[in-house]
Amino acid sequence: SVDEGRDHLWEKSRTAWHYVYTHYRHQYDWFLKADDDTFVVMENLRYVASHFNPNEDHFLGRKFVPYGSYASGGAGYMISHSALQKIGPFLTATEGCGSILLADGYVSEDVQFAKCMRILNVSVDNTRDGYKHRFHPFHPRVHLILTDDEGIKLFRASYTENHTVFGPDCCSDLAISFHNITALEMRQLFLFTYYINPYGYFERR
What is the DSSP track for 37-76? T-EE-HHHHHHHHTTS-TTS--EES-EE-GGG-EE-TTT-
Residue 101 pLDDT class (50, 70, 90 cuts): low
% of the chain beyond a pLDDT of 90: 50
pLDDT in tens, 16-62: 999 999 999 999 999 999 999 999 999 999 999 999 999 999 999 99
Asked whether residue 157 carries a pLDDT value surpassing 60, the answer given is: no
User: Which DSSP symbol is given to 7?
Assistant: G
Report field, pTM of the whole predicted structure over 0.95:
no
pLDDT value of residue 100: 60
The CA-based dihedral angle spanning residues 31, 58, 124, 113, taken in that order and rounded to the nearest 10 degrees: 50
pLDDT value of residue 67: 83
When the pLDDT of each residue in the chain is averaged and rounded to a whole number, the result is: 85
Which three-class secondary structure state does DSSP give residue 111? Answer: helix
pLDDT value of residue 196: 86
